[in-house]
Structure 1
Amino acid sequence: MKVSSLRAVLLLVSLIALSSCGCRAIRRFGESRQSIAARRLSGQGFQAMHDGKWDIAETLFSDALDVSKTDDRAHWGLAEAYWNRGEKELAVNQMEQAVRLSAGDPKFVGRLGEMYLNLGRMSDADQQSQIALRATRNSADAWRLRGDCLRAAGNEAEALAAYHRALALQPDFPQVQLQAAEIYGSQQRFDRLLATLDRLQDNVGVEKTPARADVLQGIAMRQLERPEEARRCLVRATKKDPQDPYSHLELATLEMQQGNLHEANLALSMAMTIDPEAAHANGWMDGFRAEQERIARDTQRLGQPIDQLR
């Protein structure tokens, strides 16, 4: 009788255990189906984002999170959608969740760092850049973020070293090449600036090179006393980005230095139309007037008319 009772108890315990395992298996199966559905919606969202259909992408990412709150890719995608429409704080919140749910995926950490940097949250951005590098020192993107943080903090020498590490890992990296060229320009290392941007142009083509690269090339050519090449670069920049006042101001500076006052006036007038404050910032107008006065003194004895800057 005792043996029979013991067998009954063991059978009951076994049934309870099997029932418990079965419930967990059912739950896991349900969660798995939810996860798969959420991932599918996220994938559709990224495709819509790639196609420039941001509203549709945002809806798909939101739907994915309705299915599964733990889909890190959906949080990332929704962050990008919010960022695209200017809801930057909401974007950061979603990106923080993506980082947490992915257990610190370096790609997500780096993107969060970029967002922090854009918002001026320097300490947070710097922290994310170091976390990303600790996770993967062979990532060009992580070194780029580190360089961006160092440059924003005013440490150009270390920033340039970080950019060099990024380019060693990924030689054709337009964003990094452009940042390195900016630093070379501030250091007046114009030959290195031109060599860096020549490689960029060789990789993406002259027409697809960012307008800022053309401006930097124009400045370097002007400093190296190659005015015709400088003019071609700056004119190309004004055509690529007509609403950038600084390309017009650099062109005005070149024309002024070459004694072409009419052309300088045209370029300056265009810059003033786009952004009146830009022409007065950093002493641009004072520099133009000083250069005009110098040219006037040099040419007055020849009786040539001098156009007045506005």
Structure 2
Amino acid sequence: MRLLPSKVISPKVGRAAVDRYISGIGLGLLLLGAGCRGLRAERQTHALSTARQWSLRGSDFLQQEKYGDAENLFAEALRHSQADERAHWGMAEVLWEQGDEDQAIAHMEQAAVISGANPRGANPDLIVRLGEMAFARGDYAGALKQADAALSSQRDHGGGWALRGKVLQHQSDWEGAKFSFHRALAAQEHYPEVQIALAEIYQTSGRPQRALATLDAMMDAVQEDEVSSTAWLLRGQAFADLGQQRDAKLCLRQASLNATDEECELLLKVAEKQIDFGELAEARVCLGRALRHDPNNQNARRIQEQLDLSFQSFTSKSSLIGFELPTP
């Protein structure tokens, strides 16, 4: 039997086949890698979605000031995904309320970093909150830095201008503070915190009429029972400077009614002004509340001596005209 010669494969054809084989393997590996990355991305997306559901529930509890429940829910959210901006924000707020300031700031910083990955840029609200935390800790340079960072992200951000004004007011830069507060009001017309701060600047700089106008604009937008004790005190001081004692007394009385016992310094300011107006019984009530909250307050002791002298003086004058003052 005659054997047919075997088919000879040329070297050139062989190399082409090998190249196609290798290319096929490479393509397969690429497709496999892409599939793995896609699967991993899908898992991450699912984890983030789950985390956001937990953090949304945590936000509800945080709003209700149920900090223990909120902390558990935010922790669960972060267990699912460290990329949940809301979970870091919520955990920061809970820890801040619990007094763990360092960890609170760390979580708020992480929330701001995550928000920075957004195509629209970092969330200025988170940056401002970081600045407010810095201000509360006495880090005024840090607070100013965060205010400027927020304004770089969004130039007309009311909170950024408000924080900037707050820092400058603390540093006695009255003009800079007024400019910042006015920019904040341009961005947000009704802004009680800013309006009160602005009124304080006008009042301390000898412009009580402008202080009243600022407070009136604020009070026109709220119910009377929503007005803070600080606003009532400022109105009382402004009316007093304008010589309108009747209105001043009414405002001081309202400031006392709205104040909590924890507002010790405000109560002392009210008492001191009431002594000036001769409303000694009302002053004693305010002073008593302040002393119950802080028995060792030196300012309160000074006002107590002032009040005692005023009672003695009033008693002496009353006895001269045959009128006996009831024992307080």
TM-score by length of 1: 0.88
Aligned CA distance change for structure 1 residues 59 and 106 (closer, same or farther; 3 Å): same
Aligned CA distance change for structure 1 residues 278 and 187 (closer, same or farther; 3 Å): farther
1:220 aligns with 2:265: no
| Residue 256 of structure 2: aligned partner | 238
1:10 aligns with 2:23: yes
SS at match of 1:203: coil
Whether the 8 Å CA contact 1:96–1:112 is kept in 2: the answer is yes
Name stretches of at least 5 consecutive residues in structure 2 with no aligned partner. Answer: 1-12, 117-121
Amino acid at match of 1:157: E
| Residue 104 of structure 2: aligned partner | 91
SS at match of 1:75: helix
Amino acid at match of 1:215: L
| Residue 186 of structure 1: aligned partner | 204
| Residue 257 of structure 1: aligned partner | 276
Q: Distance in 1 between matches of 2:232 and 2:142?
A: 33
Q: Which moved more, 1:156-165 or 1:282-291?
A: 282-291
SS at match of 1:220: helix
Which runs of structure 2 are paired with 1:150-161 in the superposition (5 Å)?
150-161=168-179
Amino acid at match of 1:57: A
| Residue 205 of structure 1: aligned partner | 223
Whether the 8 Å CA contact 1:151–1:159 is kept in 2: the answer is yes
Aligned CA distance change for structure 1 residues 143 and 308 (closer, same or farther; 3 Å): farther
Q: Distance in 1 between matches of 2:143 and 2:114?
A: 19
Amino acid at match of 1:86: G
1:275 aligns with 2:288: no
Amino acid at match of 1:256: I
| Residue 62 of structure 1: aligned partner | 75
Give the C-alpha shift of residue 289 in structure 1: 6.6
Amino acid at match of 1:213: A
Aligned CA distance change for structure 1 residues 117 and 263 (closer, same or farther; 3 Å): closer
Whether the 8 Å CA contact 1:245–1:278 is kept in 2: the answer is no
- Alpha-carbon deviations, 1:150-203, whole Å to 9, x = none? 112221221111001100111101111111112122112111111111121111
Q: Distance in 2 between matches of 1:146 and 1:82?
A: 25
Give the C-alpha shift of residue 107 in structure 1: 1.7
| Residue 34 of structure 1: aligned partner | 47
SS at match of 1:207: helix
Whether the 8 Å CA contact 2:59–2:70 is kept in 1: the answer is yes
How many matched pairs? 309
> Identity over the aligned pairs, expressed in percent?
31
Name stretches of at least 5 consecutive residues in structure 1 with no aligned partner. Answer: none
Which runs of structure 2 are paired with 1:54-133 in the superposition (5 Å)?
54-103=67-116, 104-133=122-151
| Residue 143 of structure 1: aligned partner | 161
